[in-house]
Structure 1
């Protein structure tokens, strides 16, 4: 067993961990970053090939290093992965790889944190910054008949591209941003593509009047009250997607912004999926109720032959699994309720869990300096 003391332990070497690490380096505060995988940004690098950022590069870069001018406005996965490697090198960030944190506990008497990994190593620190993010643990449902279905059943986190599904009947379960994009990818690779959608969805265009919808949202929210921005959001949505019911897709009547604020649900940022549905390249089905060897049934009692199922059913942050007493830190959506919880949790911070306004990367850009400034003051007591 190795026991190490440091000022700060950062858990996770994704965008959030790198951002706060860079700012701590500039502030002269000692830290270690512990990462369970073998590279920085490993979860991003493991996403499907087609992925690109759904948010503008202006609002998606990390502190201190804008994206190169040569990058497109919506940065592709590989370019973003390269950017994260460059960022780590620029700020001299060298995480400890291959160590998964299994326990974080605060010793109130000593006012320090104990961080333990699966390799049995311990870190004793004055502060902990948890950057494991929304996507730590895939949510994988098991519908009736899951164990007798003959084809592949994978979570979207294991999907790479549609090459292996060419000429097959493939069903995507779930239509968030990931499900919508994977459905397009499958269709482009020659699969007969179905998407099972249980509830009404909210959707916004990727761009509005030639500029990213995210940019328009940020500007409107800066100057207008939420009820007016909600009204504008619904007008835009209804103009673009008023006809989707006839294709079997129900659009939620609530504005995208209100749903995000009140229910923690990110709208689908449409990169072309709606046109694929209109063109018949993707067929919408209602809630999946059961599967058998080569078939799938839905709540409207319809049935289709199916060769493979991809569950785009999301993730959960599950920080309570390794933070002792972490249940008290969660909001109704199961994520940390604050970047700086304070109280008995003073010295603990959360970064990369706030997508309730304008996206995760934008929140990292804005919240990381606030955390570091607060941490500077917190460390003065030692």
Structure 2
């Protein structure tokens, strides 16, 4: 890596980087860095936080476990330790990623929050700016993923609520909420599991089901529902697999419609492919709903100073509100002059072809297919860059005039 400093005090330090730049040191960033290293290609990872996998380390609840068996969640080239359970805990997954980074000698540059990134056609490089540095490279790999920022919905009156309001990114344990009446808004996997955790800490959760939702047993016949679906899809059409999953769910879980959990018109796998919404894999919350310990509520009409009014006319008091409303991509806030992503921060080109853009732009972790999609994209990206990689030639062929050109590029603000 070569670096230079402009005479103008307002211009940050700049660096010409012969390696690909990866934005984000989560599972996606680590995976593509490891795959590049297998081709003998180093990389520069810029991470806004002070650790790898910051979402897992800083924004997840204590009881979290992988929803899928570990064989579906391993990063490329290095599996989980054999002694890990079928569904590793949060702590085990974090330790696996730390060992992964060590194994492949991955050393991200921490506290490098990217302010902007833009392809400069005048010098043929991606210019990536953080607060104190500008990096220039032929390749930019966006690995910030689908879950970079919490989604905070606009709910009428929530600003006047007297109790505590937290997003699931701030929730750690139900111990704080003991004996509280808690309104949980959102019924995905996080909303369901947090409601279950609240029950175990003697809180009284009320789960708001705003939309339709597929609930499946985590396992069928001792096999993970996801693994069974993947195996069946190799033999049967998606519509047949969906019918099978729904039939087995009915026999295992009963009619969830009677519990206020209305299913979408499309089957669970088709619904995930179309919308990106993962079915809820039940780990015990459904039995609490059946027993009345978790109370299912319809949509919120407005929040009051001491509770909430609901769409069906009910009004209840609550001590706390938890927003289980998910996460979103933050790419549109910093990637400039590029229409590869939608306004929602997802690639416009659907899976399996959304991993590559123009001018050396790549994306990993945006497939809506979890770590399996990440592994697939990471391998494709590494192979594609390897076909272009000529490190010694690229480095030695930089003339003084080209270096000056890069310096002058810094004067063009974006």
The two structures have a TM-score, normalised by structure 1, of 0.94
2:118 to 105, 109, 112: 105
> How far apart are residue 240 of structure 1 and its match?
3.3
Across the aligned residues of Structure 1 and Structure 2, the Cα RMSD in angstroms comes to 1.7
2:373 matches 1:363: yes
**Which 4+ stretches in 1 moved above 4 angstroms?**
none
Tell me the secondary structure at the aligned position of residue 349 of structure 1. strand
- Correspondence for 1:376: 386
1:69-218 matched pairs, under 5 angstroms = 69-117=82-130, 119-218=131-230
Once residues 296 and 25 of structure 1 are traced to their aligned partners in structure 2, the CA distance between those partners, rounded to angstroms, is 53
Q: How many residues align?
A: 375
Q: 2:55 matched to which residue of 1?
A: 43
Deviation at 1:334, TM superposition (A): 4.4
Aligned to 1:220: 232
What is the CA deviation profile of residues 313-347 of structure 1, one whole-angstrom value per residue up to 9, with x for unaligned ones? 1111131111113444239x6412344333xx231
Q: Which moved more, 1:333-342 or 1:27-36?
A: 333-342
Matching residue within 1, 8, 33 for 2:20: 8
- 1:23: which partner in 2? 35
Report how far residue 238 of structure 1 moved. Answer: 3.0
Determine which of 271, 283, 286 is the counterpart of 1:271: 283
Q: Which residue of 2 aligns with 1:351?
A: 364
Q: 1:67 is matched with which residue?
A: 80
User: 1:257 aligned to 2:269?
Assistant: yes
Determine if contact 2:33/2:42 at 8 Å carries over to the other structure.
no
Cα offsets for 1:85-132 (capped at 9, x unmatched): 111111111110001112111122432111111x23110011011110
- What TM-score do you get using the length of structure 2 for normalisation? 0.87
Note if contact 1:57-1:73 (Cα within 8 Å) is conserved in structure 2.
Answer: yes
Measure how far apart 1:223 and its partner are: 2.5
2:241 aligned with 1:229, yes or no?
yes
Contact in 2 for aligned 1:126/1:379 (Cα 8 Å): no
Give structure 2 stretches of 5+ with no counterpart. Answer: 1-11, 395-414
The answer on whether the counterparts of 1:8 and 1:30 sit within 8 Å (CA) in structure 2 is yes
The higher radius of gyration belongs to 2
> Partners of 2:217 and 2:72 in 1: how far apart?
17
Is 1:244 matched with 2:253? Answer: no
Does the aligned pair in 2 maintain the 1:38–1:97 contact within 8 Å?
A: yes
In structure 1, the residue corresponding to 2:49 is in which secondary structure?
Answer: coil
